[in-house]
Amino acid sequence: MDLSSPISSLKGVGSHREKALNDHGLQTVYDLLYYFPRRHLDRTTISPIRNFTKGDIVTLIGNVETFGEKSTRRGKIFQVIVSDGTGLLTLTWFNGVRYIKSLFKVGDKLAIHGKVDYYGGFTITHPEFDKLEKDDDPVSTGKVIPLYALTQELKSSGLDQRIFRNIMNEVLSLKIEIPEYFSDDTLLENDLIALNQAIHDIHFSNGIGELNQATKRLKFDEHFFLQLLMALRKRSLHHSGTMPLPDIGPYFKLISDSLEFELTHAQKKVIKEIHLDLKTPISMNRLLQGDVGSGKTIVSILVSAIAVGNHVQFALMAPTEILATQHYHTFNKEFNKANIPCALLVGNMKKSDRTPILNGLKAGSIPVVIGTHALIQDDVHFKNLGLVIIDEQHRFGVNQRAVLLNKGTHPHFLAMTATPIPRTLSITYHGDMDLSIIDEMPANRIPVVTKVVEPMRLGKVYKFIKEEVGEGRQCMVIYPLVEESEKSDLFAAVEAHKELDEKIFPDLTVGLIHGRMTAEEKDDVMAQFSKNEISILVSTTVVEVGVDIPNATVMVVEHAERFGLTQLHQLRGRVGRGAEKSYCVLVKRNVTDASRTRLHIMEETNDGFVIADEDLKLRGPGEFFGIKQSGFFKYKIANMVTDGPIIRDARKLAFEIVENDPNLKNESNKMIRETFIRDYADRLEGVSLT
Ligand code: ADP
Ligand code: MG
């Protein structure tokens, strides 16, 4: 038997169970060994009911005392009352009653996990639970009991926790070696136990200390291989043969001397960091992070002025036409001072407008171009593209970035993002880039006042808007647009516009902008809004990124509970960009516990990094980055939010290894290489191992 043996070769796995396990993604001995428990029960993780407080997430062991069905206004519910000798707890199910009720007998011993609520007594709704055998109780046995994630299909094939543990026991007793890929020195330096030991102990350990050591080792390995990918990618992105841009050039000074404001220290600092990169013949690969309103645009203009001053071309790509157009106007205004032509390249342009731009880029007579995805079309050629900036780069794929960069000879590259990301996350998710952070707001900013309101108080809000508009200022009303129900949401925005326009603000100009309008229509509306010909703009979330209307002082977000924290923060960043005090009104219409927490955080702070931290805690990294489905994080056991020190150690090791052995060719790295290629086969794009 070896790691690749099929599970059917194990005692206790007949064809029935084999099929169920296969369907669950478990084919081989290796798969089983790496099927880590979802939770462990031991003395220290079990809470007595007596000590519960509402809101706690708990694990407990209790005996079924009684159970039964109840009819309520919402339909049938099923309840089980358990006791652990210190108190009683009610378990409640609102659906699947018919099935659930067949699962319990009086006297059953259960391990229960869930969030404690209080309705005249402690209760957990829809708990996770497992039936335990006599000898499964860590309190009486003093052992650590693993609990696996088992689906209903597995359970109905007879694979309950006890049987599953028996199978696991059997696999482990075969003592099949998993080859260690780290040297003894590495293990010692990083305080790690051997891989085989860790795999054994994660399933069956004699105490929490052993279990923690095992967990640490396995987490380390998961972070290590992701960091290895980052290290390899980073290396492959650092091309030599890039045109160095050593001079600060005449345009930088011309533009910076003419600014109406003083650059912040943070802006100066990141410009210096970027310029240091640009001076070398190794291509820059840097991420510029700065909260909304921190002034990334002027940084990108000054940096592009350096490029143009060194006689290379510059391209900026933005995710939406609105944003590209706005950037174009800002760039154009500054570069006009230096008589440098700028062009805008977006989709759906007339051929007669587009052709001269393509010609100018190819001939080199247009040094600065701002655009959307239109920039990466096949017929766009540059004479000498030396610097590329991508705004809101998370909206683009790795491939799109590559296509744009390939239009030059390894041009310098800067990505910009307004989504503040906690640092340990940055080095994970953007681990293949260098990082510059603008961690300071321009001094003239007055924090936006944020208020959560019930719909019944909207009358007051509208009155306030009238006053602000009376002072010459403007307002945005945002409606959510969620893909699944796009049509009805669109309808809601259109209806709201009608009502606001005709009934609530009959004397004011109320505009509407949404994603279904053509680019021209959108531009038209935005142009009117920025000229203050529209006082109130009703919008779906197309204004989310980038739009800069300093005169807008009030933002109303409808159905605020439907937005994520980061998104709300981005939206709020659309106001408070001028010198006037600004307001953000979050209208809550349908609130859950989670959304109440979110909205409260928005009232409490304006700091994007604090909000990002909270968002990450609330939603987890997959949702946070909107990449839940993409399989970016192959973590079984690692946790990006809480593993900070382990991530740093794993990153250090991965980067050292790649530094010394860029293609992982050394004999000592052979196993690392094999494991990496196996686990990351689908992610090796752009990574060279030969
Ligand atoms: P973001 O980082 O969100 O892209 P912008 O670059 O659009 O922010 O800047 C927001 C506003 O702040 C712009 O109107 C810009 O002109 C202004 N701004 C940028 N830097 C400064 C500064 N140092 N002092 C004052 N205002 C600034
Ligand atoms: Mg911006």
Q: Where exactly are the structural domains of the chain?
A: 39-147, 249-438, 449-605
Write the residue with the smallest CA distance to atom 26 of ligand 1: 442
Whole-number pLDDT of residue 85: 93
Mean pLDDT by 10 residues, the chain (690 residues): 92 89 94 94 88 92 94 86 96 85 91 91 91 77 85 85 90 93 96 97 93 97 94 84 93 95 96 97 93 91 98 95 90 96 94 96 98 96 98 83 94 90 78 90 87 94 96 92 58 86 94 83 86 92 65 93 87 83 92 84 90 82 62 77 90 95 94 92 79
Name the class of domain 39-147. mainly beta
Give 123's strand partners: 90, 117
Q: What pLDDT is recorded for position 629?
A: 45
Q: Which of 255, 258, 261 to mutate to test the pocket of ligand 1 (most atoms within 8 A of CB)?
A: 261
Structure-token match 């689906």, residue found: 151
Residue whose Cα lies nearest atom 23 of ligand 1: it is: 263
Q: Is this model's pTM higher than 0.85 or not?
A: no
pLDDT at residue 484, as a whole number: 46
Q: At what angle do helices 249-257 and 321-336 cross, to 10 degrees?
A: 90
Q: In the beta sheet, which residues pair with residue 92?
A: 79, 125
Q: Atom of ligand 1 at shortest distance to CA of 577?
A: 11
Task: Please tell me the residue having the least CA distance from ligand 1 atom 13.
Answer: 295
Distances (CA, A) of 573 to 291, 524, 578: 9, 22, 11
Q: Which atom of ligand 1 is nearest to the CA of 290?
A: 2
Q: What is the position in ligand 1's atom list of the atom closest to the CA of 438?
A: 2
Amino acid code (one letter) for 292: V
| Beta carbons within 8 Å of 571's beta carbon, 6+ residues apart | 478, 541, 543, 544, 555, 557, 563, 584
Which class does domain 249-438 fall in?
A: alpha beta
**Ligand 1 mean position to 298 CA, how many Å?**
7
Q: Is 292 in the pocket of ligand 1 (CB under 6 A)?
A: yes
Q: Report residue 111: phi and psi, to 5°.
A: -100, 125
Taken as a whole, the chain contains a residue count of 690
* Distance from C-alpha of 284 to C-alpha of 122, rounded to nearest angstrom: 58
Distance 559 CA to ligand 2 centre (A): 25
DSSP state of 232: H
Does the fold of domain 449-605 match that of domain 249-438? yes
Q: Residue 78: phi, psi to the nearest 5?
A: -125, 135
The pLDDT of residue 628 is: 52
578 lines ligand 1 (CB under 6 A): no
Centre of ligand 2 to C-alpha 391, Å, is 7
Nearest ligand 1 atom, CA 444:
25
CA-closest candidate to residue 411, choices 297, 316, 288: 316
Q: Is 59:45 a contact under the CB 8 Å cutoff?
A: yes
For residue 403 and ligand 1, the question of a CB distance below 6 A is answered with no
H-helix or E-strand spanning residue 649: helix 644-660
Which ranges in 451-546 belong to alpha helices (H)? Answer: 458-470, 486-499, 519-530
- Which residue of 265, 440, 548 sits with most ligand 1 atoms within 8 Å of its CB, as the best mutation to test the pocket? 548
Query: CA torsion, points 429, 430, 436, 440, in degrees to nearest 10?
Result: -30
- Name the residue among 661, 616, 660 with its Cα closest to residue 642: 616
Domain 449-605 superfamily per CATH: P-loop containing nucleotide triphosphate hydrolases (3.40.50.300)
Residue minimizing CA distance to atom 10 of ligand 1? 293
Nearest CA to ligand 1 atom 14: 577
